[in-house]
Amino acid sequence: MTTTQTTPVTARPTNATEIGVFTFADVSPEATGVHADQRLPEIVEEIELADQVGLDVFGIGEHHRPDFAAPSPAILLAAGASRTSNIRLTSSVTVLSSDDPLRVMEQFAMLDSLSGGRAEIMAGRGAFTETFGLFGYDINDYDDLFIEKLELLLALRSGRPVTWSGRHRAPLVNVVVHPAPVQQLLPIWLGVGGSPESFVRAGRLGLPLALGIVGGAPARFAPALDAYRRVLDQSGHQPQPVAVSVHGFVAKTSQAAADTYYPADAELMNRVARERGFATTSRPEFDRKILANGPYIVGSPGEVAERILLLHETLGHQRTLFQLAVGSLGHLDVMKAIELLGTEVAPIVRAELGGRTDAHATQTLANEALDQRRAAPS
Amino acid sequence: MTTTQTTPVTARPTNATEIGVFTFADVSPEATGVHADQRLPEIVEEIELADQVGLDVFGIGEHHRPDFAAPSPAILLAAGASRTSNIRLTSSVTVLSSDDPLRVMEQFAMLDSLSGGRAEIMAGRGAFTETFGLFGYDINDYDDLFIEKLELLLALRSGRPVTWSGRHRAPLVNVVVHPAPVQQLLPIWLGVGGSPESFVRAGRLGLPLALGIVGGAPARFAPALDAYRRVLDQSGHQPQPVAVSVHGFVAKTSQAAADTYYPADAELMNRVARERGFATTSRPEFDRKILANGPYIVGSPGEVAERILLLHETLGHQRTLFQLAVGSLGHLDVMKAIELLGTEVAPIVRAELGGRTDAHATQTLANEALDQRRAAPS
């Protein structure tokens, strides 16, 4: 009765890969005339469709900029929660360094209750740095902030009373998060860009790892993932799942996929490049990125399925996340891509690697644990 | 073209009263066995029904305690937003003193986009004090915190770049909230318990006022409301609406209403009374509270309508909010009460005082303003 209560319920590795989509809630009014009040309800429809076609996960990334409309991922995920029944709902990422772990945990605990135990957090440091100034943090504390806040978030997730003090937040005395999440341990993934120490950190902490690939050959991350798995093991943790997120798109034909995704993706990439003084992108560069050893997965359903299987062979990951809705990409194209991912891509991948994976096992375990906790005298 | 852009779009007073409901998302597992994962989805259903039967407003109150399951009202309101089309969605209240006005504004701006311009904020200091310790504030700064944070919230609402510094938050330089809300000025009500200076503050700031009545005769607030209206006028502000919130319930008969509401309300009131060392309540006390000059509005549809009209005669308010779902009150009883409020109570009140009031005018104005802002060169 008490043994399963301490069993970690974070999704465990299998030989399969879940398939999901995520977005930063891009709005590019100057390019498309689409504002947040149109785009956010569209995203709720996309979450709903992703659930209907059986995709495993939907993610929303946090930003505080004019070109992304989701400063609070949990708000948008909650709107999706009340219109879905199976899909898991995750931040991708929560910029934890500049947020309060207590508020974050409260919000995702509410999302977990609203969704019947489908909430997850992907904790990251953020690819943009605007949040440091906005919320009064020093960019020089980049690492220290993240480590301290992650530690507190994990403590608060435990459900046990937390007494804590640190440098970047007021101390806590015997604090328990209300409401309690449905899942015994709400999954917290460590969002990782590419810095080697992040892989080691995730391994030491025993956390599932979410790798965001934006450039280069995915295969180059294989050694770092091996290191992560080694550190997990050496640190006495059970194996944990790896998620890989990519820029990607699917349409009926390769040509249609590339012709639809390129201009939208370029609109975003060039906006960011101009901001940072980087070189802008081009169609030939894009065409190289979508090659079999490239960072983007763009093509027909058969090609995309093939690429997921190849990626899985290379990285042995358990979850593939597609950033479909980027830059100026239109809602209807996103909807068509979600439908194809669910109805044509996923069946091929599942036939090859096995059925749906951890989400359900997680759910079942979590519910068992909850039932036991409730049955037990408090 | 620019004149209407500066027109305040907060709901303006009329001779009518909107009717709404609100809750703190009470959970009383020890009394009812109902946990947050059951209760929060139930509340989404209640919001949906309230919309279907034509109620004007639904509110969620913020708490960080085991007996209330909504530390982030916007999360629950967002879940409701994607299942409703007309009802306005408000916090009741947002505990502004211990929150970050920038995060609050971002969250309600997202809610506003998700709901097509139906979001409102009721800013308050909170009836409980647990948030001060949790978020590292000093209870001795009770007033100063609220004033400073309200000032910043109002500045951020303007949509103009905000450069600001204060005692209780990191300074901001040229910050604009993203996404922009749909409404030109997202309504911010000042939540007031009863302290005279709060009425004066709301008047000076030109804010609509939300009066929470928990005890005593409502009529005793008439002088304070007169003072509020006088200060509004003297401060050069346009007339603003007043909301009055009460503990209240409606059922087919007076007897059924009282018999259903009393034990649930007593469960809550006595829990709080024990915490604070106050005397517990009793049925005779409850029966006095629901008399025509008492603080509670509990009865048959005809009686409740009559009480709203009487209250309106006394206080001249524009919005009546019922805290139906308190303590251990069950979902089905709440659903029946919402249906009666919408289908039987509201028609009587509207026939007497005129139709739906400001929400639509607000919405129209806000949309016109938005269209103009978009049409204008930026």
B66·A176 Cβ contact <8 A: yes
Provide, rounded to the nearest whole percent, the portion of chain A with pLDDT above 70: 90
CA distance from start to end of chain A = 14
Measured between CA atoms, the residue of chain B closest to residue A100 is B135
State the pLDDT at residue B54. Answer: 97
Distance, in Å, from the CA atom of B254 to the CA atom of B367, rounded to the nearest integer, reads: 42
**Touching check for A139 and chain B: CB below 8 Å?**
no
Which of B39, B42, B82 would you mutate first to test chain A, the one with the most A CBs within 10 A? B82
Q: Which of B49, B82, B118 is nearest to A84 (CA)?
A: B82
CA distance linking residue B310 with residue B293, whole number of Å: 9
In this prediction, residue A1 carries a pLDDT of 30
Which residue of chain A has the CA closest to B64?
A178
pLDDT in tens, B140-193: 888 899 999 999 999 999 999 999 999 999 999 999 999 999 999 999 999 999
Distances (CA, A) of A144 to A137, A150, B53: 11, 10, 52
Residue A18: name the closest of A313, A354, A304, A338 by CA: A354
Q: State the DSSP code for B97.
A: G
Q: What was the pLDDT predicted at B375?
A: 45
Task: Tell me which residues of chain B, numbers 240 to 269, contact chain A at a CB-CB cutoff of 8 Å.
Answer: none
Q: Does residue B202 contact residue B212 with C-beta atoms inside 8 Å?
A: no
- Does some domain include residue B235? yes
CB A267 within 8 A of CB A327: yes
Distance CA(B130)–CA(B115), nearest Å, equals 31
Give the pair of three-digit tokens for residue A254: 């390769």
| Residue B98 contacts residue B135 (beta carbons within 8 Å) | yes
Nearest CA in chain B to A175: B134
Percent of residues, chain B, with pLDDT higher than 90 = 83
Cβ contact (<8 Å) for A35 and B112? no
In a domain, B344, yes or no: yes
Query: Predicted ipTM?
Result: 0.92
Name which of B75, B134, B170 is nearest A74 (Cβ-Cβ): B75
Q: What is the CATH number of the domain that holds B228?
A: 3.20.20.30
B169 touches chain A (CB under 8 A): yes
Residue B323 within a domain:
yes
What global pTM score does this model have? 0.92
User: What confidence category does residue B129 fall into, taking pLDDT thresholds of 50, 70 and 90?
Assistant: confident
**The pLDDT value given to residue A366:** 41
B80–chain A Cβ distance below 8 A for any pair: yes
Q: Is residue B166 in some structural domain? A: yes
Report the residue of B103, B114, B134, B367 to disrupt the A interface, i.e. the one with the largest count of A CBs within 10 Å. B114
A12 falls in which pLDDT band (50, 70, 90)?
Answer: low
**Total domains in the fold of chain B:** 1
Q: Tally the C-alpha atoms within 13 A of residue A362's C-alpha that lie toward its C-beta.
A: 28
- The reply to whether B1 falls in a domain is no
**What's the confidence (pLDDT) of residue A130?**
84
> Per-residue pLDDT averaged across A117-144, rounded?
90
Work out the percent of chain A whose per-residue pLDDT is above 90.
83
Residues of B in contact with A36 (CB under 8 A): 109-110, 113, 178-180
Residue type at B180 in one-letter notation: A
The reported pLDDT for the residue numbered A33 is: 87
Query: Which of A164, A159, A160, A203 has its CA nearest to residue A185?
Result: A159
Inter-chain CB proximity A37 and B64 less than 8 Å: no
Contact A110 B136 (CB under 8 A): no
Rounded Cα gap, residues A318 and A312, in angstroms = 8
Write down the residue that tokens 């920038």 correspond to: B102
Range of the domain at B289: 16-373
Contacts of B44 in chain A (CB under 8 A): 82, 114
Q: Is residue B163 part of a domain?
A: yes
- Residue A360 predicted with pLDDT over 50: no
Do A297 and A308 contact (CB within 8 A), yes or no? yes
- The reply to whether B289 falls in a domain is yes
Residue B7 lies in a domain: no
Task: Tell me the per-residue pLDDT of A298-326, one tens digit each, with 9 for 90 and over.
Answer: 999 999 999 999 999 999 999 999 999 99
Q: Which residue of B has its CA nearest to A174?
A: B134
Distance in angstroms (rounded) separating the CA atoms of residues A109 and A183 = 9
Cβ–Cβ gap B116/A37 under 8 Å? yes
Q: Does A134 touch chain B (CB under 8 A)?
A: yes
Q: Using CB atoms and an 8 Å cut-off, which of residues 7-26 of chain A contact chain B? A: none
The pLDDT of residue B2: 32
Does B5 have pLDDT greater than 90? no
